Structure 1
Amino acid sequence: MTIQWYPGHMAKAKRQFKEKLNLVDIVFELRDARVPASSQNPDIDEVVGNKPRLTILMKTDLADPEVTGEWISYYKKIGQPVLAINANDNNEWKKIHKAAKIALEEDNEKREGKGMQERAIRAIVVGVPNVGKSTLINRIAGRKAAKAANTPGVTQKQQWIKWDKRIELLDTPGMLWPKFEQQEIGYRLALTGAIPDRLLHMDDIALYAMKELKKHYPGALTTRYKLDDQENTLDLPDLLMAITKIRGFRDNYEQGAIMLVNEIRKGILGPISFDRVGEDLWEVENHEE
């Protein structure tokens, strides 16, 4: 199955993003902590250029903390300012202003050298669909400034949001890019909800997820669905059918696949990461070194 989603509003959003970039001091690029490489949009890299950027890893509560730590170390190693955020912890959001000031330290020194007064940091928020942009905006603004949902494509216009006197944010719609370099990227973005389910074959997504779980988290499926030794020897399609029956869906293979994918997305099988530092996917996706 070939996965791709690039509706017209995303092409428009990219043009608007490029036009607005001169209005801001820094780019807040949000990535999903479960897939930091797969949720890195190369179009954003191309447009941002040398503009200061803070990479913010969202949904860390759903990601494997050990793997997230490896990503943070990697970003620091290549000199990319990075911050990991747990949206459920109110204290986490306070870190953003401090991290932004550090990322803008050189620019602020230039302003001071010219005798210019300190003003609010102007930032633009970008990322793939369903990465948590609206959640960040609402937390910072302290109100429902942006519509948040576990559905890609909810935000389709740009809007300015004020955060006290310290930061002004420009929200943007979620953006993908016209063609994924590897289909692995499409599968992983689909698993995080960045692509609408209506465009997917959910059984293919579930089977891909099971393959990754067997490789990196071999006990996750067994623990959640109470699989016995015989069931654990089944090939993946038969195992998915077994799980489907265990959960009471009888022979409804598609419904079983939807259930499994949704439970992975919600973190019911535990914190899981799909991207890992150093894998071939990252070598393809890396545009920063």
Structure 2
Amino acid sequence: MSSYKRLWAKVRKVIREADVVLEVVDSRDPYGTRSEELEKMAKDLGKPLIIVINKADLVPKEVMDKWKRVLSREYETIYISARERLGTRKLWVAIKKVTPRKPIKVAVVGYPNVGKSTIINLLRGRHSAGTSPIPGYTKHVQLVRAATWLKVVDTPGVVPLRGSEEELVFKGALSPESLEDPLPVALKLIEEGLSKDPEVFRKTYGVKGDDPPTIVENLAKRRGLYLKGGRLNVEEAARIIIRDWQQGKLVFFYTPEDYNLE
């Protein structure tokens, strides 16, 4: 069995344990961080699915409301910020709404870096887990009682990704450290950022520039990133940009209009 199929087998196992599946997506790109394959698997296994748009504190409320309205046409949808503990009551209500079973067993599934472990900790009511910004990292597997009516599968299902290096980085499945040459991906990320918010790199890093190469160079200068001989270390500047995108420190976002969904 290929590693890709093995990863999907793990996701299937997590979903089978559950009565309800929470598909966690990133508020900056909810549609782009959905998984059709995951949604089909939940449907085939007869499990109700709730789309949980996480990191809602990063995006304006009116944009979150638009996404909720659009995605609710297909699935029960809520938006929360697990890190800031915002919207947790909405999560309880949504879980109770989709199934009459008690106690309800919940699985938390999604791409790397969308905040699955934080949501598991939120459901458990404490911040005790081994969470880490390294994509795909989680510690142990067990079913944990979170309330008299709720049990949580204590390991998130990490949806495996196939695609270009660029796509894998954008969705948090490849860390900047794992890239032999991070520059092309970072340049594409900057291009996307400039198209969404021309001021985003000035606001985030205090650097100016109208094109991706200039922004990378200016960031390297600002951070004092030089190699021997005085050459700018643009590769390290590129890694900083990728890392900050994956960790939610660099913020630009997509709207339903970007996907022709309104």
TM-score, scaled to structure 2: 0.82
Q: Distance in 2 between matches of 1:153 and 1:267?
A: 16
Q: Closer, same or farther in 2 for the Cα pair 1:278/1:186, shift >3 Å?
A: farther
Cα drift, residue 61 of structure 1: 2.1
- Letter matched to residue 209 of structure 2: N
Classify 1:266/1:66 alpha carbon distance in 2 versus 1 (closer, same or farther; 3 Å).
Answer: farther
Residue in 1 that maps onto 2:118: 135
- 69, 94, 99: which one aligns with 1:73: 69
Instruction: Give the distance between the partners of 2:82 and 2:67, measured in 1 at CA.
Output: 18
Q: Is the 8 A contact 1:38 1:185 kept in 2?
A: no
Which amino acid in the other structure matches residue 198 of structure 1? Answer: E
- Within 1, Cα distance between the matches of 2:13 and 2:244? 39
| Counterpart position of 2:252 | 272
Secondary structure of the 2:30 match is coil
Residue of structure 2 equivalent to 1:218: 198
Asked whether the 8 Å contact 2:169–2:185 carries over to 1, the reply is yes
**2:51 paired residue number:** 55
> Which consecutive unaligned segments of at least 5 residues does structure 1 have?
1-6, 109-117, 284-289
**Alignment check: 8 A CA contact 1:24 1:122 kept:** yes
- Of the three residues 179, 197, 205, the one matched with 2:176 is 197
C-alpha distance in structure 1 between counterparts of 2:49 and 2:200, whole Å: 36
What displacement does 1:79 show?
3.7
Instruction: Name the CA shift for 1:240/1:91 in 2 (closer, same or farther; >3 Å).
Output: closer
Q: Distance in 2 between matches of 1:28 and 1:93?
A: 13
Does the 8 Å CA contact 2:15/2:107 hold for their aligned counterparts? yes
User: Could you say what secondary structure the match of 1:176 adopts?
Assistant: coil
Q: Which residue of 2 aligns with 1:26?
A: 20
The structure 2 residue matched to 1:35, chosen from 25, 29, 41, is 29
CA distance in 2, matches of 1:153, 1:224: 26
Q: Which amino acid aligns with 2:187?
A: L
Q: In structure 1, what is the equivalent of residue 224 of structure 2?
A: 248
CA distance in 1, matches of 2:166, 2:257: 15
Deviation at 1:183, TM superposition (A): 6.8
Q: What is the identity, as a one-letter code, of the residue corresponding to 1:174?
A: V
1:174 aligned onto 2:149: no
Task: Report the number of matched residues.
Answer: 251
Deviations 1:204-250 (A, max 9, x none): 232122111211111122344444xxx634x4213321221122214
Per-residue deviation, 1:122: 1.4
Moved more, 162-171 or 143-152: 143-152
Which digits, 9 at most, give the CA deviation of each residue in 1:135-175, with x for residues without a partner?
Answer: 11222223456321111121265421211112111133412
The AA in structure 1 aligned to 2:199 is G
Counterpart for residue 124 of structure 1? 107
Q: Cα RMSD over matched residues?
A: 2.8
Q: 1:88 aligns with which of 58, 64, 83?
A: 83
Residues 86-165 of structure 1 mapped to structure 2, 5 A cutoff: 86-90=81-85, 92-104=87-99, 108=100, 119-143=102-126, 146-155=129-138, 158-165=141-148
Report the TM-score when normalising by structure 1: 0.75
Q: CA deviation at 1:48?
A: 0.9
Asked if 2 retains the 8 angstrom alpha-carbon contact of 1:119 and 1:166, the reply is: yes
1:203/1:65 CA distance change after superposition, 3 Å: farther
CA apart distance, 1:97: 1.6
